[in-house]
Amino acid sequence: MHRLRDEHTSGLNVKLLVQFLKFGIVGVSNTLLAFATYTVLLKVFGVWYVAASGIGFAVGAVNGFLLNRRWTFREHSGDAFTPVRWAIVQSCGLGLNLGLVYLFVHDLGLDELVGQIPATAIVTVLTFTANRSWTFKVHDTLTETG
In a domain, 31, yes or no: yes
In a domain, 130, yes or no: yes
Identify the pLDDT of residue 47: 97
In a domain, 143, yes or no: no
Q: How far is CA 66 from CA 42, 77, 108, 140, in A?
A: 26, 14, 35, 23
Q: Are 124 and 27 in contact (CB under 8 A)?
A: yes
Phi then psi dihedrals of residue 108, to 5 deg: -95, -10
In a domain, 146, yes or no: no
59-88 tens-digit pLDDT: 998 999 999 989 988 877 778 899 999 999
Q: Are 52 and 35 in contact (CB under 8 A)?
A: no
Q: What global pTM score does this model have?
A: 0.69
| Total domains in the fold of the chain | 1
In a domain, 144, yes or no: no
3-class SS of residue 17:
helix
82-132 tens-digit pLDDT: 999 999 998 999 899 999 999 999 999 999 999 999 998 898 889 888 988
